[in-house]
Structure 1
Amino acid sequence: MDIPSGNKRTRDEFEDESVPHDIDFGSKKQHVDPATELISNVCKDIRRIGENANLANQIDDISYISNPIVAEFEKIDKLRTSILDTLYAITIEQPQKITSLSVLVLICNSKNFLVSKYVIEYIHSKAQGLLDSVGDVSTDENDAQKGAASTEDAGPFNNIKSILKFLACLSPIVENFVVVNLFRQFLNLAVELQEGQEGRCGIAEEIFYNTLISLPYLMCNDHSSEMRDHCNELVELASKFTIKGNDSPCNLIQPFDSKLDNFEIPYKPKRMIDLIYPSILKLQGEDKSWNNLHNKLFLNFKEFVDPIIENALKNNTISNELIKHSLPQLSLPSKEQLVSFKPQGLIDSLWTKNTRFLFQVYNTTTPFETVPSLKSYHGLLFRDLAFDILTNLSFNKNEASIQLSILDLYFAKNLFAPPGSSIDQLSLVHNDNVSGENNPPLSTWKIEDIAVESILTMIFQLPLPLHHEIYYYTVLIVCCRESPESIAPVFGRAIRFFYNNLEMMDYELKIRYLDWMTIQISNFEFSWKWDEWVNDSKKFRNLRYHPKRNFIKNLIAKEIRLSNKNRIRESFVTVNPDPNVTESLILLDEFYQYLNISLFPNESKYIISYDCDLFGNNDEYKEILAKLEYERKEKISTSNTISPQEELVYVFSNSGLPLNEISKTVYDFIIASWKPNDEFKNLYDQILESVSEHPDINTDKFLINLIFQTYAYIGSRSIYSVVSLFERDIVKLQFLSGVEINEEKYSGTDFKFTKLELSETQIANRQRWIVDSIFRIWIRQPQVAFLILEYLIEFGILQPQYLIEKALDVNHNLIVDNISCMESINRVLSNQIKKEGSDKLILNLFDSIVKNINQTLNSLREAEVDNPLKIVTEFSEEEIENEDVMERIDNQWLLFEYKGLLKSYLRKFGEFNANYKDSIKTIFDELSDTTLKDDILNWLDEI
C-alpha cells in the first residue's frame, strides 16, 4: 500500500470503489433544486471534514467549505438547520473530528460571526436538552428534540462529554473564558455528588472522568498562558474528587480468573476512574506547561489557520476584530435527581451499574507498545473516542469501521507508525529507539491495534456487551476487508493472546471468543494455522474438559455448522517447511477426531444401548440394532457427501423388530395432513394395547420415543419442516407429554382430550423421555437436537427444567462439554427469565450446579487427591496415558468450569430482592469446600 505524505492514508483508501462512476443508466438527468443540491454538498463536505491526509490541504478544504456556509447561512433556513444538525451529529457520532469541526467554525466566525453565534447557541441548547432529560426521561417528540438520549446511543452524560470537547475547541471565540466555567461546574458537581455517597457513585465518576478527558481540548486552539493557567486551576480542583470503593476486587466482572491462584493472569485489569487523573497530571507535566499537547497529540492548526483568519478579518466589512460570543452557564440537574437517575444510554449505564475496567489485548507480548499505555492520556483518549464511534455509529457499521481505521488522521503527524507496519519492522524501530539511533524515538503505536483492541473491549465487556456481539464482529470483518494485509496479522495476534490465556479466561468470555473465532475463520475461507494447536491437542487428548481442547473441539463443531465436514477437513493442512519435499502441504490428521460432533463420545455405543433398552434388552433385537448402527456408521465413514439427514437411524419400522406394524401406522398418521384429535386418541390407545403385549418393554417410554422420534425423522429435511409438524399438532403432543393443555389451541369443534391420570413422577418421566428421544434421533447433529427441544418448550410441550436437567446431568456434563448445549440453555433461560416462576427455575439451576461441584469434589477426594483445588498443569507422556491420572485432572478442570458457569449465571440472573438473595446464599452454603465456598459467596456481595 502506498502511504501518503506524513504516513497518513486518505479516506478514499478505505472506500469501496466497486461501482464505476461513469455508468450511464439511460435515464434523463433529474432536475435538482439548487438550494437542495447546495445543502447536500455542504453537509457531505462537513461529514468528510478532516479526511485529507495533508494538513495544509485539509485547512484549504475547510476554508473552501466555509465560503458557501457564510454566504448562504442566513438566507436559506433549511441550509442553516441542516448545517447545525450535521455539526451536532458529527460531534456525537464521530468525536475524533471535533478539532477539525472547530477550525471550520473559527474560520466561519472570521468571515461571518453570525454562523458561529448560531453554532454556539445551538450546541448549548443541545447540552441543556440532554441535562433536562436526566430529570424527566421521556420519549415524546419534544424531549427528543431537546436532546434526550435513547436506549440506542451512549447516553446524555456521555454525549455532553463530546459537546464539552467541541465547546472547549471553540473557546477562542467565547467571551471571558466562560467555557472554563462549564468545566468547573461539572467538576464541582462530581465532587459534591461523590462526597454525598458512602460508596462509589457511578454518575459522579462518569461526570468526573468525562470532564477531565475533555479538559486538554481547551488548549487545542488556545495556546495562551491564560488558558494554560485556567487548565491548571481545573486540575487542582479535580484533586478534590475522592475515588471510593477502589478496594473492592469486583471479581464478578473480571475478564480473567486465576482459578484460586492456580494461574497467573496476563494482567490486572485497571479501573478507568483510577487512571484519568494521574494521566492528566502526567500530560500537564511537572512544570505544568502542557508541552506534550501540541505536535504530540493534537494537530497544530495554528500556523495554517491564523493567516486565513487574519486575511478574512481584514476583508470583513462588518468588523475587522475577532468577534467573541457569550455562552450561558448550564442548568444542572439537582443532586437528588442525579442520585436516582437510571440512565437508558448504553455507556451511561455502564458507569452507573458497575465499576468500569479497561480490557487489554496488546502490549502484553511485545517489549514495546503497539497501543498507548492505559496509564497515559493518549491511551485513554483513543479508547474513549473508539467507544463513542462504535456506540453512536452503530446504525452504520461500514462507516464505524472506516472511522476507526482513519482515526490517526485527526492527530499529530508522527504519533503512529506507518499503517500496516509489521511487528518485525516495529521491533527494529524499537531497537533503534533503545540504542539512541532514532533521536527523537519513532512511534511503535499501530492505529490498527487501537481499532481492533477497542472493538474487542466492547465484545468482552462484562457483564454484557453494549450491542449484540454480531455488530462488533461485523465491524471487525469490515475493517479487515478494507485493509486485509494490515488487519489480518493484528487479528492473529489477538486470537493467539486469547488462546494462550484460555485457562484463565472468564467462562462467558470463552464463549464470546469462540463465537468471534468462528466468524473470523469462516470469513477467511475457513483457513487458520491449525498447526499451532497440534501439540496442545495431543497433550490434552485425554482431558475432555480442559479449556484448550474443549475450545478446539467446539470451534470445529461451529465451523461445521457454517459449512460441512468435508470443507472443514480440507482446511486441516499446513505448509511443509522442507523445500526439498514434493508434497507442499502436510495433512493435520490430529484434528480429524473433532469432525465427529456427536452429543456423546461413543455415539454408536450410546445408540445401541439406548435402542436395546427401548426394546426390552432382548439379545436377538440387540444384534439387529447393532447391525443397523454399524451399517450406517460404515456408510458415513466411506462417503464424503453424506447429508446430516442420511446420518439418522430410524429403527421402529424394521421388520425384524417388534411393534413394527404399529410403528408404520404411527408414521403414516404423522406424515399425513392434519388429523382430528379423536383419531390421535384412538392411535394412542392402539399403541398402548400393542406395547402391552410385550412385558419387557416400558410402555410409556416406548410410546414417547416412537411418536417423538417419528416426528423428528419425518421432519428431518429441515428445522422448518419438523417445527411445522410439531406446531400443527401442539394439542396432541401436550396431551401426550402430560402437561396442561392450552385451551386456546382448541377450535370450537375440536375433540377435547381428557386429562391423563398421571402422577408427578410419570409426567416427569415423559418429559425426560421427550428430551432423550430427540437426542437419540439427532445425536450426530447436536445443534438440531437442541433447536427442536427449544421449539417444544416454546410450544408448551416440554417444560424447560427438563432440558436444563439433562444439560447438567453429571454423567455427561453437556453444558460444559458441548457448545450447542451451552448456547441452547442460554437462550432458554433468557426467554424464561421474563416469565412467571422464573425465580424457581434459576434457583434450581444454581442448586444443580452446586450439587455437580460437590459431586466432583467427592470424586476427587475418593481418588485421594491431596488438594482438589490445586490443578495439575504439567504432566508427562506416561501420565497422559494413565486413565486414572487423567480422570483426576479432568475432574479438577470440570470443577472449575462449573464454578465459572455459576459465576456467569449469577451475573446474568443475579438481580434479586432480599429473599431471593437469601435463597441463593442458602444454596451456596451447601458447597462442601470452604475455600471454594468463601470465594463464591464473595460474588453475592458484589451484585
Structure 2
Amino acid sequence: MVGGKRSRNFDDDDGYRDFRPRMPKRQRIPPVVQLCKEMMPDIRTLGETVKAFEEDIKFLSEAIANEFDNEEYFRNALLSTLYAVVLEQPHKQPAIALLTMVVNAANPVAGKSILNHFFGKLQEWCDTSIDEDFQVTSSETGPWNRIKLLLRFLSLLSPMVQEDELISLYQKFFELSVELNNLSTEKRNPLSEAIYSNTLLNIPYLFFFSKDNQNLREKVAELIAGVEASYVVKNTDLSLIKEYNKSPPYEPRRWVQTVLPNVKRVLANDMQQITELFPDYSSMMVQQPGDQGFNDPLNLPTVQQLEPFSGLDRGLGSIDGMWKVPRYSFRVYLPNEVGEFETVVPFTTYAGMLFEDLIIDIIESMEFNRKEVAKQVITLDLFFKPGIFTEPGQSIAQLIALHEENPIITTYKIEDLAIEKILSMIFKLPNVSHPFAYFYTLLVEICQNSPKAIAPVFGRAFRYFFNNLEQLDLELKLRYLDWFSIQMSNFNFSWKWNEWEEDSVKFGKTFYNPKVTFMRNLIRKELRLTSSKTDVEESLTDEFKPYLDSSFVSRHELVGYYQSFFANFDVDETMLKDNDLFFAQSCFPFSEQIQNVVNYFHQQPLDRNVSELAAIFEDIQKAYGNIIVDFNRFVTTILIQALTFSGNRSLSHANKYIGDSKNDVLELLSKMDVTQELKERWLIEAIIRFWNSNSQNGFLIVDTCKNFELVSAKSVLHFSFLEDNDRVWGLVDATSVESTFRTLTELSLRRDADVETFIYLFERLVDIAAETTEKLGTSPDVPVAVNESSTDFRELELGWKYESCLGFIKSVLRKYGDEYAPSIDHLSTFVNSKVSHTKTREILESWLMELKEL
C-alpha cells in the first residue's frame, strides 16, 4: 500500500491491460558472432594505423590463439578473412604473416591450420588453372595471379615453415616455367613468362623476416642460378601493342627481361635494398620453431595439360590476361625537366616493379569497392619503410627546392605512383581489363578525397599526353580524350587553356594536326557533357572560342549540301537551324507536303498505308520536280530526315520511329532504280547533316538504321572515309572514329562476322596512305616524317594525314586481329599491289606478320 492505494504491477495477470507498446524482443547475438563482428574488421584494416599496429598484433593474436580451437564459426570466419586480405590487399600480407606467426608461437595447432588453409588454396588454384568450366567474375584476376599471391604469403612465413618445403615450391614453379618456355624455340609462351616473372618477384619475400638466415640465402642463390641458366627470354617485339607509333618519350621495359636483374640487385650487398624497402617488424616477432610443413606435396598440372591454356587468351582473369602479349612498363611522370629527378620509383628497381604489381593487384581484385581502392593505393607507403616517399601533397616546386638543398633526399611521390599505375590500366594495349568508367571514376574518387594534392598530378599527366599526341596510338588518343573530358567536367571545365594557345595560333586552321584535332574534339565533347554551354565558354580563352562551333561540316558546306538538291532555286543561309527539318520551312513550295510526311510517321503503325506516303512524293514530283535535281536522292533524304526530326527528343524516340517505319522506308527505296550503296550513302549523309551541330547523335542514329538493316556496316565506313579536298573526317573527328570502332566491334561479336567489311576498311585506309605518299613525293626508301618547323602547310597536312592513316591501320589490325588474321595473305597481296612507297609497305607488312603473335 502506498498512500492508501494498491500499487499495481502490470506484469501480473490481475485483469489490468498493459498498454505499453509491444516491441519485438531483441535477438541475442551469440558471443562468437559478436567476437567475429569486432575482430574481422580489425584484421581487414591491420596496419592502416601505424601507431596502433603493435597493439593490434598483440590483441588479435591473443584472441585468435585462445578462440581458434573453440568454435568452427570463428575458424571459418578467420580463415576466410585472412584469405580475402591476402588476395585483395596484398600490401598487407606482411602484417597478416606476422599475425599468423605470433599466433603460431602461442598455438601451433592454429598456426598449422592457417598454413594448411593457404596451401590448400594454392593447390585449388593450380587445379583450377586447367579447368575448362572456370567461371570468371568481374574482379577475378586469374588462377596464376592468385597462385603468385599465395606463394608470396607462404614465403613470408619462412621463419615458421621448413626451408626445404618452400624451396621445393619455387623449384617446381621454375621448372614448369622452363618446360613451357621450351615448347617452342622461337615463339614466346605467355604462361611461361607469367610464372617465371611472378615467381622471381616473390623471392625477396622469403627474407622479409629471415634476412639473417644464411642457409636460406645459399639455397635461394642456387635456385636463382639454376633458373637463370635454364630460362631463355624470347626477344619478341610487337609494334602493334606499343603505346607510341614513333619516338617514344621513354624506353619501355619488358617485365620478363627486367625482373631477374631487379631481384638479383635487391638480394645483393647483404640485402641492403630489402632493409631499405621492407618495414622492420622484428620487435614484434616471436621465435618460431621453424618446423611447420605442408601435409602433401604440391601437384602442379603437367605441361601437356597446361599447353591449351598457355596462351592466356581464354578469359581466365584480368591480370593473367595481361601476359597474353609481351608485358611492358608504362610511364607518365618522367624525370622533372627542371630538377632532373624521379617522382615515381623506377621500374628498373625491385621496389618499382613491386609497387606496380601491388597497385595493379589492388585495382583489379577490389573493383567491387572503388572507394576502398582509392584509399588503399594512396596510402600504400604506410606498409613500407618510412622515408621511401616524400610527404603527401608536396608540389614539384617544393621538391625542386628540397632537392637543390639536399640532392640525396627522396623525391618519390605516392600520388604520382598511384595515378601512373591507374593510367597504365586505362592506356593498356591491346585491351583493358574493366569498363573504362571504373578507372575514370576511381581517379575522380581519389581526386575528391584530396583535391589539392591530386589535381596538380592530373594536370601534369594532361600535359604529358598532350605533348606526345603526335606519337600516341590512335586508340590511346581516344582514351585520353575521354579521361580528360570527364575530369574537366568534374573540375567545372577549368583548365589553363593559355598553355596550348601557341599550338592553336600556329596550326589552328589545319585539318589533320593532332593537337588541334584533340583540342577541337575535347571542346566538342565537353559541350556534350554539360547542359550549360556557358560553363565551357567561360573557361576558354579568346583563342579557343571559335572551337565552340561544334558543326561537323562548316555552315558554308551545309548550305552547299542543301543547295545541291535544287536547280533554279536558291537556298538562303539564314534558313539553316540546328536539329530542324530543313525542307519543311515555309519558304519551300512543297513545305506542306513535307509536313504531311512527318504527320504520316506520327500515326500509329497500324493506321498507316505506305501508298499514302508514296502519293505525297508523287504530288511533289508532279508539281515541283523541275526544281529538284535528283528526285530519288530527295525522297531518300526527306524520308530519313523526317524520321530523325520526329524522334529528335531522345535516342529511344529515334529508335521507335525508325523501327516502326522501317518497312515503309524499305518499300519506297526498293522502287528506286539506284544502287543500294548509293541509297545507303544518301541515308547516312542525310542523318549526319541533320545532326550537323551534334554529330555524335547523328552517328548513333546511323547505328539505329544499321541495326534495322536500313544501312550496312560497310556503308557507314564508306561514308566516314570519303575524301573531300584531302579531308577525311573519319581520320580526325572523334564521333566518326568512335562510330567506326563501334561498327567493327559489333561485327566482331557476331558469330557470322562479315570479314569482307573488315577487309574493305583495311584496303580503304591503305589506299588513302598510298595516295598520300604519292602526293608527298617522299623517296621510297625514306620514312615519311613531319617537319613541324616547315612553312609548307600543304606538306604538313599531308604528313599528318599519313600518320593519322597509318595509326588507324595499326589500331584496327590490333583491335580486330582475330578477324584479320585469316586474310593475311590477301591483305599482303593488296599492300604490295597498291603501295609503291617501300618504307610504308614494310611497316604494313610487319604489322600483318605480327597478327600471328596476337
Fold shared per TM-score above 0.5:
yes
Residue equivalent to 2:384: 411
Verify: 1:97 aligned to 2:45, yes or no. no
Cα pair 2:504 2:516 within 8 Å, conserved: yes
Amino acid at match of 2:603: A
Cα pair 2:780 2:837 within 8 Å, conserved: no
Deviations 1:878-930 (A, max 9, x none): x4xxxxx3122112101110100000000011225864221222232222311
Correspondences of 1:258-297 after superposition (within 5 Å)? 258=246, 264-285=247-268, 287=269, 289-294=270-275, 296-297=276-277
Residue equivalent to 1:302: 282
Residue equivalent to 1:841: 757
Residue equivalent to 1:361: 332
Verify: 1:394 aligned to 2:382, yes or no. no
Amino acid at match of 1:560: L
Distance change (3 Å), C-alpha of 1:481 and 1:837 = closer
Verify: 1:63 aligned to 2:73, yes or no. no
Cα pair 1:190 1:241 within 8 Å, conserved: no
Cα pair 2:696 2:735 within 8 Å, conserved: yes
Residue equivalent to 1:700: 632
Deviations 1:278-324 (A, max 9, x none): 11111122x5x212212x11111012x13xx36xx9xxxxxxx6763
Query: Please, which runs of 5 or more residues in structure 2 have no aligned partner?
Result: 1-22
Verify: 1:473 aligned to 2:440, yes or no. yes
State how far apart, in whole Å, the 2-side matches of 1:236 and 1:889 are.
Answer: 54
Residue equivalent to 1:931: 839
Deviations 1:621-644 (A, max 9, x none): 315x33413xx5xxxxxxxxxxxx
Residue 526 of structure 1 deviates from its aligned partner by: 0.9
Residue equivalent to 1:250: 238
Residue equivalent to 1:594: 547
Residue equivalent to 2:656: 724
For the residue of structure 2 that corresponds to 1:44, the secondary structure is helix
Percentage of pairs with the same residue: 30
State how far apart, in whole Å, the 1-side matches of 2:107 and 2:796 are.
Answer: 76
Distance change (3 Å), C-alpha of 1:232 and 1:837 = closer
Distance change (3 Å), C-alpha of 1:837 and 1:462 = closer
Distance change (3 Å), C-alpha of 1:425 and 1:230 = farther
Verify: 1:942 aligned to 2:846, yes or no. no
Cα pair 2:277 2:385 within 8 Å, conserved: yes
Residue 376 of structure 1 deviates from its aligned partner by: 0.5
Distance change (3 Å), C-alpha of 1:326 and 1:129 = closer
Residue 171 of structure 1 deviates from its aligned partner by: 1.7
Residue equivalent to 2:196: 208
Structure 2 counterpart of 1:890, from 783, 792, 797: 797
Correspondences of 1:171-570 after superposition (within 5 Å)? 171-198=158-185, 199-223=187-211, 224-246=213-235, 248-258=236-246, 264-285=247-268, 287=269, 289-294=270-275, 296-303=276-283, 305-306=284-285, 309=286, 324-326=292-294, 328-341=296-309, 342-343=311-312, 344-347=315-318, 349-366=320-337, 367-434=340-407, 441-563=408-530, 564-570=532-538
Residue equivalent to 1:681: 611
Residue 465 of structure 1 deviates from its aligned partner by: 1.2
Residue equivalent to 1:628: 575
For the residue of structure 2 that corresponds to 1:371, the secondary structure is coil
Residue equivalent to 2:595: 664
TM-score (norm 1): 0.83
Verify: 1:831 aligned to 2:746, yes or no. yes
Q: Tell me how large the CA RMSD over aligned residues is.
A: 2.3
Amino acid at match of 1:185: K
Correspondences of 1:768-787 after superposition (within 5 Å)? 768-787=681-700
The worse-fitting range, judged by mean Cα deviation, of 507-516 and 811-820 is 811-820
Residue equivalent to 2:14: none
For the residue of structure 1 that corresponds to 2:584, the secondary structure is coil
Residue 837 of structure 1 deviates from its aligned partner by: 4.4
Residue equivalent to 1:639: none
Structure 2 counterpart of 1:610, from 550, 555, 561: 561
Deviations 1:605-658 (A, max 9, x none): 1222222222x232xx315x33413xx5xxxxxxxxxxxxxx234232333323
Residue 415 of structure 1 deviates from its aligned partner by: 1.4
Cα pair 2:601 2:661 within 8 Å, conserved: no
Cα pair 2:119 2:294 within 8 Å, conserved: no
Residue 788 of structure 1 deviates from its aligned partner by: 0.8
Residue 74 of structure 1 deviates from its aligned partner by: 2.2
Residue 856 of structure 1 deviates from its aligned partner by: 2.2
Residue equivalent to 1:8: none
Cα pair 1:659 1:691 within 8 Å, conserved: no
State how far apart, in whole Å, the 2-side matches of 1:213 and 1:868 are.
Answer: 41
Structure 2 counterpart of 1:690, from 620, 639, 655: 620
State how far apart, in whole Å, the 2-side matches of 1:622 and 1:786 are.
Answer: 29
Deviations 1:307-343 (A, max 9, x none): xx36xx9xxxxxxx67634453310111112222154
State how far apart, in whole Å, the 1-side matches of 2:505 and 2:24 are.
Answer: 65
For the residue of structure 2 that corresponds to 1:801, the secondary structure is helix
Residue 347 of structure 1 deviates from its aligned partner by: 4.4
Cα pair 2:781 2:838 within 8 Å, conserved: no
State how far apart, in whole Å, the 2-side matches of 1:322 and 1:825 are.
Answer: 62
For the residue of structure 2 that corresponds to 1:329, the secondary structure is coil
Verify: 1:815 aligned to 2:730, yes or no. yes
Residue equivalent to 2:155: 168
Aligned residues: 815
Distance change (3 Å), C-alpha of 1:648 and 1:363 = closer
State how far apart, in whole Å, the 2-side matches of 1:490 and 1:566 are.
Answer: 27
Distance change (3 Å), C-alpha of 1:170 and 1:335 = same
TM-score (norm 2): 0.91
Cα pair 1:206 1:351 within 8 Å, conserved: no
State how far apart, in whole Å, the 2-side matches of 1:185 and 1:322 are.
Answer: 21
Query: Please, which runs of 5 or more residues in structure 1 have no aligned partner?
Result: 1-25, 141-148, 259-263, 314-320, 435-440, 573-587, 633-646, 739-755, 880-884
Amino acid at match of 2:765: I
Deviations 1:198-255 (A, max 9, x none): 1221111111100110000001112322222222222212312433431x43111111
For the residue of structure 2 that corresponds to 1:652, the secondary structure is helix
